[in-house]
């Protein structure tokens, strides 16, 4: 049976019957029950051994990813990322998404030339997958992207869009992006369907997962990505020989839920995932606070710059007050960490 975003959001029993809603990827709406809007949701099967490490630095440029939070946890093979609207989303009347390049100098960024093109990789009544090659990009790598046995080489951006039905419940009227990946550097950007009153919402935070390296900035080297439309799954072959998967578990007007896995357990000496974002001031930011629940004690909220390091089973990164930069961009929750079963 073909699984679509609509089916996953409406009928969680489908995922359970197929064996996809296991301890590490529990049904998102069930996990959300009773959740505090400003706090990450705990998970019964989550480990408490994940360290969140502040590797950020100040900047005055609102288009620079100066926020870098590393996730380190020995043995981690599965976890979940949830993108949710900021707590002030219901108050947004007019969105603010224009870029701000004041105080930015990107003249020294590396650039490699390519032939620009756009290609529709897949579409049906529920989703659309579109790839883009840019005229220039900061990485030279050419990554293969496969759908249905057909592989496109050298795409820099791939967009997954949800096709929203018309008011009569039949004909699609518009396509809304919910997830993008940049295959050449391994960056992903998630967002839910827009909240009531907004035609769309903005991207803000990005994340990396897999064998993260530093080469001018953090990145993940990918050799090949295969997308399975029926399972809504991205299968990633990393250049170091390891593999990972990213499954879209639910896409609603409240949240986007992603389940991620790695075939090789994470090492304590290397981050297995990272948050990348921007902060200049609370009013000019894509993320401003980190919030977590320690294994014992009260929930903690700290500014995104300078929180140091903490260990927790889950953490939320977002904003408590409106920002004029990407006003509607979502908060991001990292949770439901699992280690590989003992053998």
Query: Consecutive 10-residue runs of the chain (343 residues): their mean pLDDT?
Result: 36 30 32 37 55 95 92 96 96 83 83 96 96 97 97 98 74 86 98 93 96 96 98 98 98 97 95 97 95 89 97 96 93 95 62
Give every CB contact of residue 284 below 8 A, 6+ residues apart in sequence: 62, 100, 323, 324, 325
For residue 101, tell me if it sits in a domain. Answer: no
Which is nearest to 147 in space by CA: 173, 127, 133, 165? 127
pTM, two decimal places: 0.85
SS3 state at 82: strand
For residue 284, tell me if it sits in a domain. Answer: yes
For residue 105, tell me if it sits in a domain. Answer: no
For residue 88, tell me if it sits in a domain. Answer: yes
Range of the domain at 250: 5-96+110-339
Q: Which two tokens stand for residue 23?
A: 């301890």
For residue 229, tell me if it sits in a domain. Answer: yes
Number of domains the chain contains: 1
pLDDT value of position 31: 27
Given a contact cutoff of 8 angstroms between Cβ atoms, the answer to whether 213 and 141 are in contact is no
Given a contact cutoff of 8 angstroms between Cβ atoms, the answer to whether 226 and 233 are in contact is no
For residue 102, tell me if it sits in a domain. Answer: no
For residue 103, tell me if it sits in a domain. Answer: no
For residue 306, tell me if it sits in a domain. Answer: yes
């Amino acid at each position: 049976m073909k699984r679509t975003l609509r089916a996953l959001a409406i009928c969680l029993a489908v995922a359970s019957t197929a064996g996809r809603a296991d301890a590490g990827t529990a049904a998102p709406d069930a996990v959300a029950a009773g959740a505090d809007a400003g706090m990450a949701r705990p998970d019964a099967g989550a480990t408490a051994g994940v360290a969140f490490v502040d590797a950020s630095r100040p900047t005055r440029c609102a288009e620079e990813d100066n926020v870098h939070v590393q996730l380190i946890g020995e043995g981690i093979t599965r976890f979940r990322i949830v993108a949710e609207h900021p707590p002030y989303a219901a108050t947004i009347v007019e969105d603010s998404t224009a870029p701000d390049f004041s105080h930015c100098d990107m003249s020294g960024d590396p650039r490699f030339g390519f032939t620009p093109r756009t290609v529709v990789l897949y579409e049906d009544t529920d989703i659309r997958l579109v790839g883009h090659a840019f005229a220039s990009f900061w990485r030279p790598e050419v990554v293969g992207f496969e759908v249905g046995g057909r592989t496109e080489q050298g795409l820099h951006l791939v967009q997954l869009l949800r096709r929203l039905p018309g008011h009569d419940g039949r004909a699609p009227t518009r396509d809304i992006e919910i997830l993008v990946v940049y295959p050449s550097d391994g960056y992903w950007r998630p967002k839910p369907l827009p909240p009531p009153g907004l035609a769309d919402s903005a991207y803000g935070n990005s994340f990396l997962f897999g064998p993260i390296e530093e080469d001018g900035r953090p990145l993940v080297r990918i050799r090949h990505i295969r997308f399975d439309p029926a399972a809504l799954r991205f299968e990633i072959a990393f250049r170091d020989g390891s593999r990972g998967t990213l499954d879209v578990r639910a896409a609603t007007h409240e949240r986007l839920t992603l389940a991620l896995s790695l075939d090789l357990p994470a090492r304590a000496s290397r981050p297995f995932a990272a948050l990348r974002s921007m902060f200049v001031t609370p009013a000019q930011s894509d993320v401003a606070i980190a919030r977590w629940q320690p294994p014992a004690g009260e929930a903690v909220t700290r500014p995104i710059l300078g929180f140091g390091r903490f260990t927790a089973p889950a953490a939320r990164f977002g904003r408590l007050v409106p920002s004029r930069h990407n006003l509607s961009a979502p908060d991001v929750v990292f949770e439901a960490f699992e280690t590989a079963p003992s053998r």
